[in-house]
Amino acid sequence: MNTPSSKKIFYYSIAETAIGWIGIAGNEKGLRRLVLPVPTRENALAELNRYFQPCEKLAQVDSQFISIVTKIKNYFDGKKIQFETEIINLEGYTSFQKNILLKTREIPYGITQTYGWLAEQSGYPKAYRAVGGVMRFNPLPLIIPCHRVLGSQGKLTGFSATGGLALKRKMLELEGVLTSK
């Protein structure tokens, strides 16, 4: 049985960007969850809380995430930002899931790839649907840029973050991959 003192503690920060509120959480092992822009601060906190288990506790500490929050704000201001040095915590993920997420992380700013390409590059050439399943539960969108993964022939498909395909489109527009409608 978990007592309050035996809970794993994760620290979080919530901040406003040009297109909404983001939330980020992690611990000494690395970043664990990023909530892409949602309408309110309360929505961001609720999204973070949904991700964590009862044996895990969120504790607010803004200063721990100043540099990453600044990078995220700059990204949503339209600046070219790479998220390649941030330490991430994929504890609890299978080796297949980790492999897919880490390979996705290698897709550079302004470049898109397909689910099939990602499956092939990860060593699972026929697992493109399974790759889509991993993308759907990506805990760190933007840092692990699942928005850069498209359907066959570059079709804009699937994006489980709040805002769905409209947010995916906006992010790809910011990166110059798509033009505004």
Rounded to whole angstroms, the Cα distance separating 178 from 181 reads 9
Q: Is 55 a catalytic residue?
A: no
Other C-beta atoms lying within 10 Å of the C-beta of residue 19: 17
Nearest by Cα to 83 from 36, 136, 16: 36
Residue type, 178: L
Angle between helices 128-136 and 95-105 (to 10 degrees): 80
Rounded to whole angstroms, the Cα distance separating 113 from 15 reads 30
Catalytic annotation, pick one of 31, 68, 144, 146: 146
**Token duo for residue 57:** 């506790």
Q: Which positions are catalytic?
A: 146
